[in-house]
Amino acid sequence: MFVRFEFSRYARPLAAGLMALALTACGENADEEAADPDAGAIAVFAGTVTTRELAEPITGTGTIAAHKTTTLGPRVDGIIEEIMVRVGDRVSEGQPLFRTRDVELKLKVTELENQVRLAKADLRNTSLAFSRASELHAKGFVADGRLDDARAARDASQARLGIAEAQLAGANQMLTDCVVTAPFGGVITRRDVDEGKFMATRMGGMGGMGDAGGGGVLQIMKIDIVAAIVTVPEMQLSKIAVGTKGRVFIDGIDRSFDSYVAILNDYVDPVTRSVELRLPILNEDYAVKPGLFARAELYPEPRRVLSLDRRMLQGGETDRHVFLAENGVARRVSVTVRQIDAQSVEVLSGLKAGDTVLGGPNAPLLADGVRVRIEVEPGQIAAGASDSVAQ
């Protein structure tokens, strides 16, 4: 009984003291929260969704092509008697390149010139006969039938002269065509035959670049202007138009070339799903050779996008989200983004310009409804101080 009495005697005052102490502590915490509303909030950094001009280059690859390419063959049948140029020679428009043997054609021209003379002589005789018949017919000494015969003879002589002159003109043209000249200024890039080979026009002497030594005599290219023929994915087609600025980089050449899209092919390759573009390059020194590999960077007009610091993003590829600050409380928002570069992303949906997005080392602690306290990043403080010193 004595022990119980002593416990009761001292326990009640001790319990009362502990309760008073607890109430005092709770009162102090409540006073602190009333004095500082941010007590217990998560410290975070803030980033803003901004609007910016975004210019994204588009890359295409392809090959350098000549402005013009022609494989020249003979214009008349015969033996190639003389080739006047070599591969690598630069030629001007109208310069003789090679010649077909023309002995037979010269003889033919001489023969036809004599036939023209005969036809002219015959026409003079028939014309005089018709004139005399017309005079006598007017005096009544020649019948209508004889006048008609004289007129027919004159007309026949005139027709024979026309035929002879046409044949002579054709022979002269063939004689001229024995010498093949350059259709434009350029460089000789291929020689398929040597002197002494018989060639006929029906053998395909005017073949194209695909003729691997068959049919043609020489190949000529115009390369004072060349073109980079490149392809880009069809998904980029809406961003490109004729006139879009670009720059061409060529293997083996230590400089780039400013250019633009001169031709946009209307055909999209259904196999590669790509579209062909042509960018001209001025090549007066012939430094750029057809066939070189080319890479082109195209620069479409800039577009306005919503941009956000990529560090503010949370979640995986299928659950991208951010936290916004609303009245000191975090709110979770799902977003769709596309990466611009290593520092920023383009916001496609979920946010608008001016939204305050939360991030920083404590970002993993954020959840809907959690109170937050926005602090200034150390880097921003340093930047602000530098600006103040500069001012």
What DSSP string describes 200-246?
-GGGTTT--TT-SSSS-SEEEEEEEEEEEEEEEEGGGGGG--TT-EE
**Number of H helices and number of E strands within the chain?**
4, 22
Within the chain, all domains assigned CATH 2.40.420.20 are found at 42-54+304-379
pLDDT at 295: 96
Q: Which residues pair with 250 in a beta bridge?
A: 294
Tell me the C-alpha distance between 345 and 30, whole Å: 43
The residue count for the chain: 391
Strand locations in 163-217 (E): 179-181, 186-191, 198-199
Judged by DSSP in three states, 35 sits in helix
Tell me the C-alpha distance between 307 and 320, whole Å: 15
Fold of 102-177: Helix Hairpins (1.10.287)
Q: Are 361 and 375 in contact (CB under 8 A)?
A: no
Amino acid sitting at position 338: R
- Angle at 150 (CA atoms; ends 146, 156), nearest 5 degrees: 140
Q: Which residues pair with 294 in a beta bridge?
A: 62, 250
Amino acid sitting at position 140: G
pLDDT at 30: 47
Tell me the C-alpha distance between 390 and 382, whole Å: 12
pTM of this structure: 0.64
Q: How many CB atoms lie within 10 A of CB 151?
A: 15
Right CATH for 60-66+223-302 from 3.40.190.10, 3.40.50.920, 2.60.40.740, 2.40.30.170:
2.40.30.170
Q: Which of 282, 284, 283, 264 is nearest to 274 (CA)?
A: 264
Q: Are strands 42-48 and 372-375 parallel, antiparallel or unpaired?
A: parallel
Q: CB-based contacts of 28: which residues, under 8 Å, 6+ apart?
A: none
Instruction: Using the structure block, give the residue that is written with the tokens 């803030």.
Output: 46
Within the chain, all domains assigned CATH 2.40.30.170 are found at 60-66+223-302
Q: Which of 64, 68, 66, 69 is nearest to 218 (CA)?
A: 69
Looking at domain 42-54+304-379, its CATH class is mainly beta
Q: Specify the DSSP element, H or E, that contains 364.
A: none
Q: Are strands 96-100 and 179-181 parallel, antiparallel or unpaired?
A: antiparallel
Q: Are 161 and 123 in contact (CB under 8 A)?
A: yes
User: Which residue stretches of the chain are H helix?
Assistant: 2-35, 103-139, 144-177, 378-390
> Phi/psi at 6 (nearest 5 deg)?
-65, -40
pLDDT at 212: 40
Tell me the C-alpha distance between 308 and 192, whole Å: 62
Q: Are 197 and 79 in contact (CB under 8 A)?
A: yes
pLDDT at 9: 47
Mind listing the pLDDT tens digit for each residue in 25-44? 444 554 544 455 555 788 88
Q: CB-based contacts of 377: which residues, under 8 Å, 6+ apart?
A: 45, 360
Mean pLDDT of each 10-residue bin along the chain, 391 residues long: 42 46 47 54 88 88 95 93 95 96 94 96 95 90 90 95 96 95 95 92 50 70 96 92 95 93 94 95 94 95 88 86 89 89 88 89 86 76 41 45
Judged by DSSP in three states, 71 sits in strand
Q: CB-based contacts of 220: which residues, under 8 Å, 6+ apart?
A: 69, 70, 72, 91, 97, 182, 183, 184, 186, 187, 188, 189
Q: Are strands 186-191 and 90-91 parallel, antiparallel or unpaired?
A: antiparallel
Within the chain, all domains assigned CATH 1.10.287 are found at 102-177
